[in-house]
Chains A and B, each alone.
Chain A
Amino acid sequence: MSDAPFRNPGWAGNTGEFDLSEDDVRGAAYAGERPPEGRHPSTSASYPFMLVERDPYAPLFEGRHKERYEKIRSRYPTAMAALLPALNLAQELRGHISPETMDEVASLLGLSSAYVRGVATFYTMYNKRPVGRFLIQVCTNISCNICGADEVLAAFLEHTGTELGDTSDDGNFTVVEAECLAACGFPTCVQINERYFEDVSARDVPNILKRLTDELAAG
């Protein structure tokens, strides 16, 4: 929307027709904090698995994480079916799926390490190498693309000073291109860790990055 007034985007609720807070739109006001042990077994696989705080050597499947894994496992007739959730859990803690992580997950589920590698590399959301504290995924698929997604992507690269897929020197940002994020009516859609930022235009980018660094500073 070329002549729209400057807005600080973040969610697609700010068109003036609804009186909603960001938490309302994002659902945070309703969903609340998700406990690490995962509350109900049926929903325990749904914990966000891209957190700012990660430790590549964090112990996996211990303590409350073990509890959560066991809840997840109880929902499937086969151990193999718990593979994606287990990898999600591992990525949540460690930030990426290293060969060592694949190996550990394989032993946990009684699968071969090669099999786990085959599965992990099939899915794009598993980071095969470490990424920045904020993984910025800019949709450049058709609906966003015809509305200027390429410029948004370029702006993120420019303002983070990174090359596509590389992590900024301060370890804060990794910018990648994403396929359709299913928010096509609100272009450009950018996913930053677990959050969707919608209606993003190139000139919004500095504000978004500032918001992220402010959040980091605030802890």
Chain B
Amino acid sequence: MAYPYRHEKETRILSECFGDPSARTVAGWKKHGGYQGIARALEIGRDATIEDVKASGLRGRGGAGFPTGLKWSFMPKNTGRPHYLLCNADESEPGTFKDREIIRWTPHQLIEGCLVGSYAIGAAHCYIYLRGEFFETTQILARALEEAYAEGLVGRDIMGSGVDIDITLHVGAGAYICGEETGLMNSLEGRRGEPRIKPPFPAAVGAFGMPTTINNVETLAATAHIARHGGEWYRQWGTDKSPGTKLFCVSGHVNRPGNYEFPLGFPMMELIEDVCGGMRDGKALKAVIPGGSSVPIMSAEDCRACTLCYEGVEAAGSMLGCASVIVMDENTDIVKQVRRMAYFYTHESCGQCTPCREGTAWATRILRRIEDGLGTEDDLDTLIQISEQMTGTTICVLSDSLAMPIISSIEKFREDYLALIRRGERVGAA
């Protein structure tokens, strides 16, 4: 039951209660099996919980797809120092709107996930870093958290286990880059949200200089279920390399956009044509960005055989990212949209690394000039070379994230650029 649409083909694990306000309370959440995951984790112990998550094959849902259990196992043991779990609820990847839904419909799902994660990595304090724009969402989570404290589910001696886990809501103030895990740590510490150079990795030197793990909202929500049912249970869905279910955020030119939950490996065309009710106004599909704006753009042809799992999208020439499927119809002005993306990355670049600070801004200006009909074919070569110079040369991957849509759009939609350059014609401007 995705929200605000649902589809009978869905496998509803994380999204079971989307659209059901009664699941927001502790009592309501418990009716759906809530807090059994953390109860079982406390029973089987830290190491076994990490093993369960390892066995589940769960991969980080924030975009990078790094195995969550492995990440947890990097945390040192018995350090005698505070450990921190940071929940990344700074959802700001264009096209992505799943974490907000998880939090506002099932705040306790996230709280439980945070408890499981904190317990597994030995953290007595978890910070949920919420993007500042989520006022309404944060109110819901705050109320739920207060309830959880009152019920003894969070705080001292949780559920009578002798384990202390605090959860604090930390509200950001508007910066895409704080969704990058080390940028998030800096922002939490009250600094400019500039990503940090690695090494040291967060598991060694993280927030406040202490061992730290950062997980996405959807990842932690999934661990609540894995803790409850075990790792193998989770593997009944998805593919070998991409186990489990995933929320797909579909936006753009489809009839029924929204969040839909499917096992990984679900066919992209079935998602667009069946689940989302097909293309709006019966238009033809032109392009899809499958993983939030930071991944290569796919042509309609690329989508035909594409299955939505990490390896499936990679085989189709792009990346699953956070499974934010942006669907564009035949009337879409690709050049304008790439320029808009470039502007976004320019606006959000923290400005530390030269290739990103200068490259994103330069690319935006060139794209704007092309859009204004003043471009040359040489500009396309320049754009591709700038993009290559922005790839793999910076502290974080923000500039890589712009390079990918630029390069892929010029490769796949060169005609759109040439129409503007040669004839001043905008594709899709009608």
The answer to whether B208 and A81 have CB atoms under 8 Å apart is yes
Does B191 sit within 8 A of A, measured CB to CB?
Answer: yes
Measured between beta carbons, the chain A residues less than 8 angstroms from B138 are: 46
Please determine whether B104 and A142 come into contact, CB atoms closer than 8 angstroms: no
Complex partner residue of A182 from B19, B99, B250, CB under 8 angstroms: B99
Contacting pair B324 A20 (CB below 8 A): no
Q: Is B93 an interface residue (CB 8 A)?
A: yes
Q: In the complex, what's the smallest C-beta–C-beta distance from A1 to chain B, in angstroms?
A: 7
Decide: B94 and A142 in contact? CB cutoff 8 A. Answer: yes
Interface size class of A (residues with CB under 8 A): 35 or more
B252 lies within 8 A of A143 (CB): yes
Flag the segment in A55-63, A154-162, A165-173, A184-192 that touches B: A184-192
Q: Are B25 and A81 in contact (CB under 8 A)?
A: no
Q: Is the CB of B136 within 8 A of A195?
A: yes
Question: A27 to B21, alpha carbons, bound, how many Å?
Answer: 8
Tell me if A65 counts as interface (CB < 8 A to partner B).
Answer: no
C-alpha spacing A46/B24, complex, angstroms: 17
What's the least CB distance linking B271 to chain A, in Å? Answer: 13
Nearest residue in A to B100 (C-beta to C-beta)? Answer: A182
Max chain B C-beta neighbours (<10 A), residue from A39, A178, A179, A187: A179
Residue pair B97, A182 in contact (C-beta under 8 Å): yes
Q: Is the CB of B171 within 8 A of A45?
A: yes
Minimum C-beta distance from B269 to chain A (A): 19
How extensive is the interface on chain B, given as a class? 35 or more
Q: Is A164 at the interface (CB under 8 A from chain B)?
A: no
Residue A213 interfacial (CB < 8 Å): no
Q: Within B162-181, which residues are at the interface with A (CB < 8 Å)?
A: 166-176
* Selected contact of B21 from candidates A24, A77, A124, A196, CB within 8 Å: A24
CA distance A40 to B96 in the complex (A): 30
Q: Taking A17-B4, A27-B24, A119-B190 as contacts, is the C-beta distance between A39 and B146 under 8 angstroms? A: yes
Q: How far is the CA of A84 from the CA of B149 in the complex (A)?
A: 24
Partner of A184, one of B97, B170, B340: B97
Q: Give the residues in chain B near A24, CB-CB below 8 Å.
A: 21
B156 at the interface (CB under 8 A from A): no
Q: Quick check: B143 and A182 within 8 Å, CB to CB? A: no
List 26 interface pairs A-B (beta carbons < 8 Å), by A numbering: A12-B3, A18-B3, A27-B137, A32-B143, A34-B142, A39-B142, A42-B166, A43-B142, A43-B143, A46-B171, A48-B139, A78-B190, A79-B190, A81-B189, A123-B172, A123-B175, A125-B132, A126-B173, A126-B174, A141-B341, A142-B95, A142-B326, A146-B326, A184-B97, A194-B136, A195-B135
